[in-house]
Chain A
Amino acid sequence: MTTLAHNNVEHHHGAGDHVHVDYPERPIEYQTQDGALKILGFWVFLATDLILFACLFATFIVLRTHTDGGPTGKELFDVPIFTAETLILLTSSFTGGLATFEMHRGHRNRVIGWLIVTALLGLAFVGLEVNEFVHMALEGATMQRSAFLSAFFTLVGTHGCHVSLGILWMTGIIIQLFQRGITPITARKVYIVNMYWHFLDVVWVFLFTIVYLMGVM
């Protein structure tokens, strides 16, 4: 924690929170030292999360042919469904980016609007995925059937859990934006949840390619 200088600018926003600002010249999410540290810390966290996914991908690639005579990816994956999932998630990443863009222009209601759109698209994505999982399970393609399916459900499910957590997290931030408006603190939260969301988008691109496209080939 640094000692704050006396000539600090005091921001006066929205519902009237006083936030001490360390670096008034920076983008709003970086204006407090705490915010700058948290954003860097979150980048580092994403690096660890990336390695976690890398290990799950490695496991999936080792086990993807180990179907034990059970259903294969080619039999199970539904091209229109996973294409729709991909388009929805990519679009949600774009709308999340629009929320950050509006945050820098100081439009609270537009930020909230775009975040709601993003979260709803996320919900649609999770809904399609749950539907896909249930259909597979009803056809007997459960996690217990083969090593391939264990790896499939775990890898795709871990991503789905991340997205679901992201929706809950985003909801919390939308409420805080209603309560407090755009301050350096809420701006940092919007920024970080969007980092997380874009990260999940990037992971999905690899899931789309390695699990689904290579699966139906």
Chain B
Amino acid sequence: MTTLDLPERQGESVGAGKGSVKRAKSRRGGSQGSRVAPILFLTPFMILFAIFFLLPIGYAIYQSLFHTEVSGLGLGPNSTVTKFVGLSNFSSVLSDHSFFSGLGRVVLFGIVQVPTMLLLATVLALLLDSASTRLKRFFRLSFFLPYGVPGVIAAILWSFLYLPGLSPIVSVLKSVGFGNVNFLGIHSVLWSIANIITWEYTGYNMLIIYAGLQAIPQSLFEAARIDGASELMVALRIKLPLIFSSIVLTAVFSIIGTLQLFSEPQVLRAVTTNISSSFTPNLLAYTKAFVENDPNMAAAVAVILALGTFILSFGFLKIVQRRAFSEVEL
């Protein structure tokens, strides 16, 4: 939520600075009721936020501090005790090399897939912005359509396109002379997943960027054309800098999504043995919780992952923030 608000707030505070000071003064003289009103309006949100956000997070953190310990054979009612162990679950996750190989995998995935997807989304948005009105609707819908397919269904769909013997792609590649292309091999499977994600989310990201393009005042383009700028120049020199904040937004979403990669690899596990039970950090958490029946360890993985996501997405924002928003506020 906060990441979403950032660009808006920054823009607003500059323009509305003076006005808000005045308003604040006049409010001070208001009745008791006006002070209660904002609280009343916020209550439904705060309650839901607490129940569905703070409470589960708090419970996960609480769970991550416990460990179920067995003694002897572990048989019988008194052989198992759950006790407080402080941060020891965290230290065992952090010393687990399968956690780091999973993390390394999604980071590598993100470094390659996120820029590729965003580049594609930006190019598509720019093309759409300059296309004729009738085709615009058609393309906007067709680019966005894959996002309407649930992730699990998309993964099932693609798994059929990857499976040798069933896939038309594999057989076409073979008949053209590429030999037996294995989309589900130990090294290729990660990029096959990247392809699914790109297919799914490019249209969605394109739409955000496209919305950014729509917000640019037409007068800027007219002025540029009068100055003799070509369409390409308009795209590169005017549109691109002005939609930079939209691109940053989509990048943050994509980084978060990448670190939480789960359903696509989980679905593809049914067709290939090359996706291990700790392929991504989220898959590791799932394995700990629902296969190994160790919810405490799973909670620790989830908390570490959440912290990592937080640091990475805010770190990214910090790096690009100055550039992104100084351009916007020109």
A associates with B: no
On B, residues with C-beta under 8 Å from A are none
